[in-house]
Structure 1
């Protein structure tokens, strides 16, 4: 029995869309939107430390492409290290591909050769490609100079850690999209009393979503304390 096609990129988390990314560098969202929807658009290279939103944008790119009726694929390279050639071969036939976490294969010669070959095939086939890594190509521990050269030819988007005002905006946006009532005092408490890494904050919001639904409670500071105390 065939599996029905999922509509509107439902394979990708609904919170992770281009329009929901907070504090993007100027022009970055427009560049990603073009890469998602326009064949022959400039390939992009996202660089930024952990927690700066690379995975959000990579998934959002794929969702945007599928919303436009194009075939897309997201591949976290940490999951393919050591067998990258097979993983990349499986991506043939897509219109848009996002490769996340280049640092995972840096220094692994076989994987680097596989990526170099895929890069060249993708360019010849007219595929749109996004790379994401913690560092720019010159700072990755690559053993293939030719691969470094290919990666360096892509237009770069440099992502920076969010400040507290932007973290608060992310929490407000995520809460609003879920229909959560998240008081400003609760946001201030989360930013001052918990891990301010964005991934940790979003994970906490996911937990609060479940807990508040179960308890039929608004997310207030007393409720936050209750939830946090229950986990210690």
Structure 2
């Protein structure tokens, strides 16, 4: 990958498909694993509400693909939209291109045209293009009809929100990754008193991890968790 694209390929190593809680999204998770392994070449469009896991999935896709020796570019358009779309030059050589938060360039003629050209350059060349947005292709305020059409060519998936069981599994998984003990009743308290956003819950678990490390503790008791609440926290 050209050195002009440092942002496009910056994927945190902790972003994996393995620690994504699938809930009702297991079919999509399986498909992304197949794309990462090169078993399938696909054009996919993943939509979902803010903090529903789209970024996690696209980062996890690239992380897993790179571990398997495949080239993958991750482009967070919420960060890159202020840059020239010329950064896409040569991107068609990658095995997988993951384009996150496409809604942020909707209405930008230069970016829309550049993505349309990239799509055409990769089509039929055994590449995979995976897009995400907070809404479906039909609902995006795009000015280029041909781009909207291309985005609808492949599979389209609407991410399902995690239910209570899935959110509890998320909390336990995040605790285990950090070597922490989280009793079911404490996890349930978090669901009752905190934002149900997976992103917010994960961020709060990271905050608890830092506090637990400072106090050299592993058990996240309810009094300890309550003592860690901050005014800006998503928990009450």
TM-score by length of 1: 0.88
**1:56 matches 2:51:** no
Name whichever of 25-34 and 138-147 sits farther off.
25-34
**1:142 matches 2:128:** no
Shift of 1:93: 3.4
CA–CA separation in structure 2 for the residues paired with 1:231 and 1:78: 24
CA–CA separation in structure 2 for the residues paired with 1:87 and 1:190: 42
In structure 2, do the counterparts of structure 1 residues 92 and 187 end up closer, same or farther at CA, with 3 Å as the change threshold?
same
* 1:187 paired residue number: 187
- Aligned residues of 1:98 and 1:129 also touching (Cα < 8 A): yes
Shift of 1:88: 1.5
- Aligned residues of 1:71 and 1:94 also touching (Cα < 8 A): yes
Three-state SS of the structure 2 residue aligned to 1:168 is helix
* 1:19 paired residue number: 18
CA–CA separation in structure 2 for the residues paired with 1:54 and 1:196: 16
Three-state SS of the structure 2 residue aligned to 1:135 is coil
- Aligned residues of 2:11 and 2:74 also touching (Cα < 8 A): no
Name whichever of 37-46 and 205-214 sits farther off.
37-46
In structure 2, do the counterparts of structure 1 residues 229 and 122 end up closer, same or farther at CA, with 3 Å as the change threshold?
closer
In structure 2, do the counterparts of structure 1 residues 187 and 39 end up closer, same or farther at CA, with 3 Å as the change threshold?
closer
Q: How many residues align?
A: 223
> After superposition, what is the alpha-carbon deviation per residue over 1:160-197, rounded to whole angstroms, capped at 9, x for unaligned?
22122211111111211221111222211211112222
- Aligned residues of 1:77 and 1:102 also touching (Cα < 8 A): yes
- Aligned residues of 1:183 and 1:219 also touching (Cα < 8 A): yes
* 2:164 paired residue number: 164
- Aligned residues of 2:16 and 2:60 also touching (Cα < 8 A): yes
**1:114 matches 2:114:** yes
In structure 2, do the counterparts of structure 1 residues 149 and 92 end up closer, same or farther at CA, with 3 Å as the change threshold?
closer
Three-state SS of the structure 1 residue aligned to 2:229 is helix
1:1-232 equivalences in 2 (<5 Å): 11-14=11-14, 16-22=15-21, 23-38=23-38, 41-89=41-89, 91-217=91-217, 218-228=219-229
- Aligned residues of 2:54 and 2:132 also touching (Cα < 8 A): yes
CA–CA separation in structure 1 for the residues paired with 2:48 and 2:231: 34
Shift of 1:24: 4.4
TM-score by length of 2: 0.87
> After superposition, what is the alpha-carbon deviation per residue over 1:67-98, rounded to whole angstroms, capped at 9, x for unaligned?
11111111100112143522322635321111
CA–CA separation in structure 1 for the residues paired with 2:80 and 2:30: 29
Three-state SS of the structure 2 residue aligned to 1:143 is coil
RMSD: 2.2
- Aligned residues of 2:11 and 2:62 also touching (Cα < 8 A): no
